[in-house]
Amino acid sequence: MARINRELPLTKPTVTNGGGGSAAKGKYETFQALVMQALQLRKTHREVFILCDIRGYSVAETASILEINEDSVLRRLAQARSEMGFDGEAGANAITEIVDI
């Protein structure tokens, strides 16, 4: 999976060209919806999902931060993605596309 930028957007991105405004707005709104959906996960899944998929930390980094083993991170991440409807490699790729704004 591609490395995700750890800087979360705090404001809507400014679009300088005339043609991309609605596309940028739509992508940002999709990102917002993903975050809102993630906030509905149970705490253990939410922590792992946000650290790995939103913030871009590796499995090892996430395990260290949460003081759990890497297998637990992988299991929780798979469960979180599944609960959100992002199963398998295709789901991980879809999340990367949403988050990479």
> What is the per-residue pLDDT across 16-61, written as a single tens digit (0 to 9) for each?
444 556 777 788 899 999 999 999 999 999 999 999 999 999 999 9
pTM comes to 0.74
**Max Cα distance, the chain (Å):** 48
Do the domain assignments include residue 85? Answer: yes
Check: CB of residue 51 under 8 Å from CB of residue 80.
no
91 located within any domain: yes
- Which structural domain, as residue segments, surrounds residue 56? 42-99
Whether the Cβ atoms of residue 5 and residue 100 lie closer than 8 Å to each other: yes
Answer whether residue 30 is part of any domain: no
Number of domains the chain contains: 1
pLDDT at 93 over 80: yes
Span 64-77, pLDDT tens digits? 999 999 999 999 99
- How many CA atoms within 13 Å lie on the side-chain side of 44? 9
Residue 23 lies in a domain: no
87 Cβ neighbours under 8 A, 6+ residues apart: 81
Q: Is the pLDDT of residue 101 over 70?
A: no
User: Which residue's structure tokens are 């990479």?
Assistant: 100
Q: Is residue 6 part of a domain?
A: no
Where helices occur in 16-87 by DSSP H, the ranges are 21-38, 43-49, 59-66, 70-84
> Does residue 98 surpass a pLDDT of 80?
yes
Q: Is residue 73 part of a domain?
A: yes
Q: Provide, for the chain, the percentages of residues in helix, strand and coil under a 3-state DSSP scheme, each rounded to the nearest 5.
A: 65, 0, 35
> Residue 74: which CATH number?
1.10.10
Per-residue model confidence (pLDDT) at position 70:
98
Residue 65 lies in a domain: yes
Q: Is residue 7 in a domain?
A: no
